[in-house]
Structure 1
Amino acid sequence: MKILFLTDNFPPEVNAPASRTFEHCREWIKSGHHVTVITCAPNFPKGEVYEGYKNRLWQTEIMDGIKVIRVWTYIAANEGFAKRILDYVSFMLSAILASPFAGRPDLVIGTSPQFFTACAAYVVSRLKRVPFVFELRDIWPESVKAVGAMGDSAVIRFFEKIEMFLYRKAAGIVSVTESFKRTLIERGIDGEKISVVTNGVDSSRFQPMPKDAELVQRYGLEGKFVSGYIGTHGMAHALETILEAAERVRRFENGDQYHFILLGHGARKEALIEKAKQMQLENVIFIDSVPKEEVPRYWSLLDVSIIHLKKTPLFTTVIPSKLFECMGMGIPTLHGVAGESAEIVEREGAGIVFEPENADELIENLVKLKEDGDCYRQLQENCLAGAKNYDRTHLAGAMLDILNDIVDGGRKVPEVMGNQEGK
């Protein structure tokens, strides 16, 4: 099978869409299929082109057997609604223009979070007269309203009409959560063409390892109980809650033993750094984004991972992909996200769930994990056992079965979750 995949995030970028797409495509190549990816020059999240790349009209490379075509886009940092829309639209147009030179595939996949990439995939599928598959990673533009970036308006309603058009026109929809599937069915989309393939973990990269000695020394973490957040510092993540917890925990009798790491970049990072300075938080360390191959070294620093999103109903439907990386590394999670992802944490016994934006609950459970060694070790064991249920190789194969079925013209779209047990 020949697969054409459109995505505006791809390695060496390290965010969730880039990792999922690359790891799935890599596995499909290993299975003997041909995969071409149309993407842009790597620049997420700072809006700065990575070293070794240029924002050219056209450049190609082969990455683990995947043919990667990079096209010109208007590059903007991951902040500011208007500039980001220009970024998205420019990729949509460039991807459409580049598609005639990508050969004739058997199907075209477009992945969200934003749906302009899916718009491009739909147009390309019509030009090439092949099926269009919508990989649904986020309910957009609803998520824009949820974080307060933009209120209900004529523009948002126009985007929502396009969104529904794409759902209806897709030959298949691959959602990363059951909640997204239920939402689409409630909005009138045919459930027979919606399947679920959760995010997962590349177990060849994310596995238990001792704390990286060089990094421990560099950041002065000897003898510290380290918790941290690794990922985008955006409006959706409400990371001020972690700063509040850091400020309160330092008042404890042994408060100097607790340290917090926030690694990544995003629209709120500079504001978070400034807030930490005002609060005089010497127990919080900010680290810039690191290359993909370096990420496990930084995960190794953490005794506990903090996963957090703003307290809003929409985010009860999402599953942060970093959860599975934590599980693969054997790092218990303090999970400040309600809904489907919290159910996974509780089902797998991979951590402790706390109320989003509740710093007191975060501190209470952080102290528990530090002081209760038996509980901590049990969660570690549960993480490693649970990670096997979300192995990326298995999930990539499951999605490939769905794609084969679509190409063959079948209507049977299987349910594919990382863990079918206990449901």
Structure 2
Amino acid sequence: MHILFLTDNFPPEVNAPASRTFEHCREWVKAGHRVTVITCAPNFPKGKVFDGYRNRLFARETIEGIEVVRVWSYITANEGFLRRTLDYVSFMVAAVPASFRVDRPDVVVATSPQFFTACAGWLVGALRRRPFVFELRDLWPESIRAVGAMKASALLDALERLELFLYRRATAIVSVTHAFRDNLIARGIDGAKIHVVTNGADLDRFQPRDKDAALMSTLGLQGKFIAGYIGTHGLAHALETLLEAAGLLQEQGRDDIHMLFLGDGARKAELVERAQRSGLRNVTFLDTVPKEDVVRYWSILDASVIHLRRSALFETVIPSKLFETMAMGVPVLHGVKGESARIVEAEKAGLTFEPENAAALSDRLVQLADDRSATAGFSANGRSGAQNYDRRHLAARMLDLLAACRRPKTAGAIERPVASG
């Protein structure tokens, strides 16, 4: 089977969509299938093309057996609604003609969070007469409302109509949460074609390891209880709550607890400035590191803080870093209500706290720092629970769904040769 996958995030980018897509595609190649990914030049989240790449009209490379086609797009930092929309639309426009420069696929998959990529997937599927599968990672544009990036308007209403059109036209929808599936059914989408394949972790990469003593020495964090936030510093994450908690701990004289931030995003500079203005001595900010180095930073954490804004929408999401945290055996401090909090509680992998409640977070940090037997239990439980979210098994489940969508080619049909890049 030849799978054509459209995504605007792919390695060497290290965000959640890039990791999920790459790890699934890698497993499909291992299973003997051909996978072609159409994406853009790696630039997330700073909006700067990574070293070794250029923002060209068309380029090819192969990554672990995956055929990768990179197209030109308007590149901007992960901030500003209009500029990001131009980024999304430009990728959509470039991806469609690029799809005719690869062999005809058996199935076309396109992934959100934003659905202009899904628009391209639907159009490619229609033009090439192949089934279109919508991988639903986020309820966009509803998430725009949730973070206040754009006020209610006729434009948002039009985007939601387009969203529903794509759901209806998709041969199948692969949702990353059960809550997303329930949302779509409530809005009139046929539940029979909506399948849930949650996020997970690459258990070969993310597994318990000894603390990286050299890294702790470099950062000057020996002897500290280290609580880390690893991921995008965006509008949805309300990371000022973590800074407020750090301030409360500093006031309490808990110098043994240190907050580590690793990543980039639209609010990174603002957060750094706020920490400096507040005189926080118990906070360290670090820039994004290559994917292969991330586990070094996971290894030094005594707790992983996962946080999103207090919003009904975010009660439907499951942050992908939850599964990496569990796989690494790092206790979770989970400031997200809903489906993901129920996973933490069911697996006994850590403690939950109310989103945007700095006092509750600081209390939880003190609780974990003062009870190392509890942290050891959460660590062991997380490692055990992560086995239920092994990326290999999840990729195999999604592959079965794609195979079920596949249409046999018309007997005797001959395709025109395609141009090579």
TM bin, normalised by shorter chain, reads: over 0.9
Whether contact under 8 Å (2:333, 2:364) holds in the other structure is yes
1:217 deviates by: 1.0
Give the partner amino acid of 1:154: A
1:251 deviates by: 2.2
| CA shift digits 1:190-221 (9 cap, x unpaired) | 00000000000001110111121221111100
Q: Return the alpha-carbon distance in structure 2 between the equivalents of residues 211 and 152 of structure 1.
A: 47
Name the counterpart of 2:5.
5
Name the counterpart of 1:357.
356
Give the partner amino acid of 1:378: G
Give the partner amino acid of 1:396: A
What number of residue pairs does the alignment pair up?
408
Give the partner amino acid of 2:206: F
2:140 is aligned with 1:140: yes
**CA distance 1:323–1:58, shift in 2 (3 Å):** same
1:408 deviates by: 5.4
Q: Return the alpha-carbon distance in structure 2 between the equivalents of residues 136 and 86 of structure 1.
A: 21
1:112 deviates by: 0.1
Name the counterpart of 2:370.
371
Identity over the aligned pairs, expressed in percent? 62
- 1:68-83 pair list within 5 angstroms: 68-83=68-83
- 1:382-397 pair list within 5 angstroms: 382-397=381-396
1:298 deviates by: 1.1
Give the partner amino acid of 2:68: V
Name the counterpart of 1:157.
157
Give the partner amino acid of 1:41: A
Q: Return the alpha-carbon distance in structure 2 between the equivalents of residues 102 and 290 of structure 1.
A: 32
Name the counterpart of 1:346.
345
1:313 deviates by: 0.5
1:360 deviates by: 1.0
1:84 deviates by: 0.2
Give the partner amino acid of 1:258: I
Name the counterpart of 1:203.
203
1:252 deviates by: 2.3
Name the counterpart of 1:126.
126
2:189 is aligned with 1:189: yes
Give the partner amino acid of 1:275: R
Name the counterpart of 1:272.
271
Whether contact under 8 Å (2:49, 2:55) holds in the other structure is yes
Name the counterpart of 1:415.
none
Q: Return the alpha-carbon distance in structure 1 between the equivalents of residues 166 and 372 of structure 2.
A: 50
Q: Secondary structure at the match of 1:250?
A: helix
* Misfit runs of 4+, over 4 Å: none
Q: Return the alpha-carbon distance in structure 2 between the equivalents of residues 375 and 295 of structure 1.
A: 25
Name the counterpart of 2:222.
222
Q: Return the alpha-carbon distance in structure 2 between the equivalents of residues 30 and 37 of structure 1.
A: 15
Q: Return the alpha-carbon distance in structure 1 between the equivalents of residues 364 and 297 of structure 2.
A: 22
Structure 1: gaps spanning 5 or more residues: 410-423
- 1:9-408 pair list within 5 angstroms: 9-253=9-253, 255-407=254-406
Whether contact under 8 Å (2:106, 2:407) holds in the other structure is no
Give the partner amino acid of 1:178: H
Q: Secondary structure at the match of 2:255?
A: helix
Q: Return the alpha-carbon distance in structure 1 between the equivalents of residues 89 and 373 of structure 2.
A: 52
| CA shift digits 1:324-373 (9 cap, x unpaired) | 00001000010000000000000111110100001111111111111112
Q: Provide TM-score, normalisation by structure 1.
A: 0.96
| CA shift digits 1:387-423 (9 cap, x unpaired) | 10000000000000111111159xxxxxxxxxxxxxx
Q: Return the alpha-carbon distance in structure 1 between the equivalents of residues 171 and 238 of structure 2.
A: 36
| CA shift digits 1:262-318 (9 cap, x unpaired) | 111111111101110110011100000111111111111211000000001000000
Name the counterpart of 2:417.
none
Give the partner amino acid of 1:124: V
Q: Return the alpha-carbon distance in structure 2 between the equivalents of residues 291 and 370 of structure 1.
A: 29
Structure 2: gaps spanning 5 or more residues: 409-421
Q: Return the alpha-carbon distance in structure 2 between the equivalents of residues 44 and 138 of structure 1.
A: 17
Whether contact under 8 Å (2:108, 2:132) holds in the other structure is yes
Q: Return the alpha-carbon distance in structure 1 between the equivalents of residues 32 and 250 of structure 2.
A: 55
| CA shift digits 1:56-92 (9 cap, x unpaired) | 0111111010000000000010000000000000000
Q: Secondary structure at the match of 1:256?
A: coil
Q: Return the alpha-carbon distance in structure 2 between the equivalents of residues 48 and 325 of structure 1.
A: 26
Whether contact under 8 Å (2:7, 2:39) holds in the other structure is yes
Name the counterpart of 2:416.
none
Q: Return the alpha-carbon distance in structure 2 between the equivalents of residues 364 and 44 of structure 1.
A: 34
